[in-house]
Structure formats: structure tokens, C-alpha cells
Amino acid sequence: MIINIKYFGLLADITKKKEEQMVLDESNFSVAFLKSKMESAYQELQNTNYSVAVNQAMVGMDSKIKDQDVIAFLPPFAGG
């Protein structure tokens, strides 16, 4: 499975990347699993508030990720 991950704002600073492509052996996993995997790779994410979108839609942690999905890690939004 191949997924594309995009990082915005502070999260791009933490990862030092704007985007990356990941090849995963798992074929059926949730946003929570990916979040855990990313927080292991980038430990500073553990102490950061952020949301996750899949294919430009905000999703819950139990949402499933599929091959070729685009996942966005988004910092908190400010209103105005």
C-alpha cells in the first residue's frame, strides 16, 4: 500500500518535510494506527495538537486508510 502524507504549519517544521510518500505492508489500518506510527517516527508530534484529513475530508481516528489515499496532518485552526 502506498499513501501520500502532507504536513502543514508547525507539523512541517517538526518533520522537516512538506510531504512524503510511505509504502506500508499493512493493507487495512486506521488513522489512529498511522498517527501512532508517525508519533514514533517524529516524537515531537506526541506533544502537539493536530487534526488528520484523508482525501481533503476531516476524519475520525477510527477511519480506514486505503491505497493511494492522501493524508494531511493539520495544525489547529484559528478563527477570524
Find where cell 489547529 sits.
76
Comparing 77 with 45, the larger pLDDT belongs to 45
pLDDT band at 27 (very low <50, low <70, confident <90, very high): confident
> Is 29 a residue whose pLDDT tops 60?
yes
> Is 53 a residue whose pLDDT tops 90?
yes
pLDDT band at 79 (very low <50, low <70, confident <90, very high): low
Find where cell 498517527 sits.
35
Q: In 4-80, which residue ranges form alpha helices assigned H by DSSP? A: 10-15, 31-41
Confidence (pTM): 0.89
CA-nearest of 54, 16, 10 to 35 is 54
Q: In terms of residues, how long is the chain?
A: 80
Under 8 Å between Cβ of 29 and 65? yes
Q: Are strands 2-7 and 64-65 parallel, antiparallel or unpaired?
A: unpaired
